[in-house]
């Protein structure tokens, strides 16, 4: 039995840039980090500027939304 998967041609696949919202200035990247041996969640602007550090992922997403930013998780 042939279990090979058929993939779409590369020209039909979406790239990350195409999935970004049109106004990338409204994007906040949420990233896990370690400071002083404790896990924290960084909220960063689309240009990489650190905006805030909070103790929970949920709070990071809520804070971004309250400031009219679209939160995106960064791994």
Q: Please list the pLDDT of the chain residue by residue as tens digits (75 residues).
A: 555 555 454 444 444 444 555 556 799 999 999 999 999 999 999 888 999 999 999 999 999 999 999 999 987
pLDDT at 54: 96
Residue 5 is predicted with a pLDDT of 52
CB 47 within 8 A of CB 38: no
Q: What pLDDT is attached to residue 25?
A: 78
pLDDT value for 21: 53
Main-chain phi, psi angles of 14, to 5 degrees: -85, 140
Question: Tell me, what's the pLDDT at 62?
Answer: 97
Distance in angstroms (rounded) separating the CA atoms of residues 73 and 58: 11
Task: State how far the Cα of 17 lies from the Cα of 27, in Å rounded to an integer.
Answer: 13
């Amino acid at each position: 039995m042939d279990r090979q998967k058929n993939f779409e041609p590369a020209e039909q696949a979406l790239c990350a840039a195409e999935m970004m919202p049109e106004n990338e200035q409204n994007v906040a990247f949420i990233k896990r980090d370690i400071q002083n041996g404790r896990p924290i969640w960084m909220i960063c602007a689309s240009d990489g500027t650190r905006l805030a550090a909070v103790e929970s992922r949920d709070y990071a997403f809520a804070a971004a939304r309250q400031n009219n930013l679209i939160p995106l998780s960064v791994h």
